[in-house]
Structure 1
Amino acid sequence: MTFHPLRDVRVIDMGLLLPGPVCALHLAWLGADVLKVEPPHGDAGRVLYDGAFFDTYNRGKRSIAIDLKTEQGRAVFLDLADQADILIENFRPGVAERLGIGAGVLQARNPRLIYCAITGFGSGSRASAPAHDLNFLARSGALGLPTTWSGQGRQSTRPAMPIADFGGAAMAVQAILAALFERTRTGNGARIEIAMQEVMLHWIGWRTSADERADERAWTRHLEPANDLYLTADGRGIAIGAIESHLWRGLVAALEDAGAVLPPGAMDWDWQARRIHAQELSDALAIVFAARPLAEWLERLEAAGVPADPVNTPPEAFADPWAIERKLVGDDGWIRPPLPGVGALSPAPAVDADGPAVRQGMAWKAPPLA
């Protein structure tokens, strides 16, 4: 049975690049009718990475190109917004108001509208500051954190994933669904603002609290050496997650069974002891894992019940037997969401592909909610 809880829900996606489009994509996966409103030249994301960027995060949507700087364009847009349930935008604060399509204007016309703005910094002194994902990671402190025991002294590096963009989108989806539920009780829409910098500070807050603990050294590295990345004999990375004591004992037993020599008494070290001996232990584990190839370590540690996984490339991850079993990649090669029963989405639309139909009054696929 196909899972479409948002069927008949009408969404206007005004997002550009990542945060807004990813938020709208998740609503489309849940069955919403998503109409992407683009500037006449199209979303800037269409040209990044030869289109793969846009095609991935705009599937299941339709497109209309509207010049909101013209009276005619605004009239078309306002008509759409009058019939919509949800609007998502990630402009800088004030841009929508200057265009005459801010939340105040739209909700005065359509009180049921849920208006979600995904911004960088929200309100305040940095409201209009330009920024992208990397800027939020830097300013939030995420890039300033020490990374791993084995990477001590390493400079900050750019993550391979746009964490703040995806985090902002995820929090926006959560807030929109809550507002949609609340609307069933009150009949009123909502004004939602998601500041990506706040999302990053929320996620990193536990580290700030940890820094206030009595032992100032306790949080200079992430968790402990038994929760780290190591290189194996064939140059592959392996991730170890032996944090709890029983997992640590299983790891030590498996390593010693393979002929490894660890510091005396290491088997009985608890979490605090492992941190006290962190550098010594990290160096020893690095030597141990470098002695055998990845496949052998994975086999040994799986048999011992120790969390151990390869550092895969994305193609390797999606070729993993588990990913295939879970049908996370569709027959068309596109990644499917981790939700049971969610149907496949249509390809991303061309610029203004649905513009003619929309302008002729056929804006939405389904009737509005009662």
Structure 2
Amino acid sequence: MTGTITGPLDRFFVLDLTRIRSGPTCVKQFADWGADVIKIEPPEDNSGYADRDSSDFQNLHRNKRSLTLDLKSSEGRDILMCLVDKADVLVENFRPGVKKRLGLDWETLHARNPKLVLGSISGFGQTGPYAERPGFDQVAQGMGGLMSVTGLPGQGPVRVGIPVADLTAGMFCATGILMALLDRERTGVGQWVQSSLLQAQVAMLDFQAARWLIDGEVPGQAGNNHPTAVPMGVYPTSDGSMNIAVTGNRMWQDFCTIIGRPDLADHERFATGRLRLRHRDELNALLFEITRTRTSKDLTEALIASGIPCGPINKIDAVFEDPQVAELGMVVEVEHPKRGTQKVLGQPIILSGATPVMHSATPDAGQHSDAILKELGLSDAELADLRERKVI
């Protein structure tokens, strides 16, 4: 496949030794934008490795070639090292000790191919007291503080509905790899790029972290209310509920006019942002009684006309029926040899001179093994021998 797919990253050859979610999320950025990505998987018992038929797996691993390889065998490791010699990037999410045992540590790989960029994603980092712990998204959400600020006040810790630590660790690692590739153009030398679920989750605390680091305030759960601004959150309507975000005094005054209560704009308890935050429960009780008399459509149209952010609270099916989501190209199709046309998530990035390369569905395990190994110069007889001995 090398050289047949065009895209902004089509000059890069990437080895994917990742599994579960954080690593595949990282590699997906390269696969979707044209890189030649080889996914390396165990040769046997792939049902225990991943459920290939799941929608999750099919969405994560499109645009890759699959090579099955036993990395515990000397022949398997030799083949991998031949691929390392050609590679621009290798991405893995093994624990540090496992990586060392497989000979995939930075020192070994850098000595073999000084131009290689190694991307490593772990649960807690490559060094430190937790380095060898197994990582899991919800564990990182808890240790990274997110579950303490999610949910209703007094509800107790709540996980968010997506694997945010996994996803952001993968995205941060992809960004780091791209920076290392850019720097390699200047230095000629690759780098070791590291990210972890814990680092990513702490970074994603953003303003909640700043409240502690700068103000000395420990944030708590605020439910559907914004932690520091009012009115901002979920408001009932006559036919459901919706999000409304009123920021600043100009919006506040316009909002009060729209809901038919201009007297609230200069009320002694609500006239400023600080006052509204201090009296949040009282103000929201008033607003709930007003907004629940309006339909979501009517209130949305009135607020949007005044430039006040608002919107529906969609279930997943409604998300993909939204015309703006369609306009943004967030659903793309790939052809699967067994499933036929298959819808997967698109990229949330738009480039003026390029589009994501959706050239193939998620491959079967080992679907491209023969072609890849023939590119390395192996004969049919050698392939048959390796397959007989379950190296591939």
Q: Where on the TM-score scale, by shorter chain, does this alignment land: which range?
A: 0.7 to 0.9
Query: 1:267 deviation in Å?
Result: 10
Distance 1:290 1:60 in 2: 47
Where 1:8 maps in the other structure, the secondary structure is coil
1:296-341 CA-partner distances (Å, limit 9, x unpaired): 2222222222100111122211221112223322355332213233
The 8 Å contact of residues 114 and 192 in structure 1, kept in 2 or not, is answered as: yes
Alignment of 1:116-195 (within 5 A): 116-122=119-125, 123-145=127-149, 147=151, 151-195=152-196
Distance 1:220 1:51 in 2: 34
Report the equivalent of 1:226.
231
Report the equivalent of 2:384.
none
Query: 1:141 deviation in Å?
Result: 0.8
Structure 1 range deviating more: 80-89 or 263-272: 263-272
1:196-232 CA-partner distances (Å, limit 9, x unpaired): 2012112225323323666959977412232212232
Report the equivalent of 1:88.
91
The 8 Å contact of residues 63 and 355 in structure 1, kept in 2 or not, is answered as: yes
Structure 1 344/327 Cα, relative in aligned 2: closer, same or farther at 3 Å? Answer: same
The 8 Å contact of residues 12 and 37 in structure 1, kept in 2 or not, is answered as: yes
Report the equivalent of 1:54.
57
Report the equivalent of 2:370.
356
Structure 1 264/218 Cα, relative in aligned 2: closer, same or farther at 3 Å? Answer: farther
Distance 1:273 1:285 in 2: 15
Structure 1 range deviating more: 296-305 or 126-135: 296-305
Report the equivalent of 1:366.
none
The 8 Å contact of residues 218 and 275 in structure 1, kept in 2 or not, is answered as: no
Alignment length (residue pairs) = 355
Amino acid at match of 1:253: T
The 8 Å contact of residues 148 and 221 in structure 2, kept in 1 or not, is answered as: no
Distance 1:98 1:215 in 2: 44
Query: 1:12 deviation in Å?
Result: 0.5
Structure 1 215/108 Cα, relative in aligned 2: closer, same or farther at 3 Å? Answer: closer
Query: 1:255 deviation in Å?
Result: 1.4
Structure 1 286/305 Cα, relative in aligned 2: closer, same or farther at 3 Å? Answer: same
Distance 1:66 1:266 in 2: 71
1:278-310 CA-partner distances (Å, limit 9, x unpaired): 111122223333333322222222222210011
Structure 1 116/303 Cα, relative in aligned 2: closer, same or farther at 3 Å? Answer: same
Give the gaps of 5 or more residues in structure 1. Answer: 364-370
Report the equivalent of 1:202.
203
Where 1:34 maps in the other structure, the secondary structure is strand
Amino acid at match of 1:141: G
Structure 1 265/213 Cα, relative in aligned 2: closer, same or farther at 3 Å? Answer: farther
Residue 360 of structure 2 is aligned to residue 346 of structure 1:
yes
Give the gaps of 5 or more residues in structure 2. Answer: 334-340, 378-392
Distance 2:10 2:218 in 1: 52
Structure 1 63/286 Cα, relative in aligned 2: closer, same or farther at 3 Å? Answer: same
Amino acid at match of 2:114: P
Query: 1:52 deviation in Å?
Result: 0.6
Residue 344 of structure 2 is aligned to residue 334 of structure 1:
yes
Residue identity (%): 28
Amino acid at match of 2:83: L
Distance 1:74 1:281 in 2: 65
CA RMSD of aligned residues (A): 2.6
- The TM-score, its normalising length taken from structure 1, stands at 0.88
Residue 250 of structure 2 is aligned to residue 246 of structure 1:
yes
Amino acid at match of 1:54: F
Alignment of 1:62-77 (within 5 A): 62-77=65-80
- The TM-score, its normalising length taken from structure 2, stands at 0.83
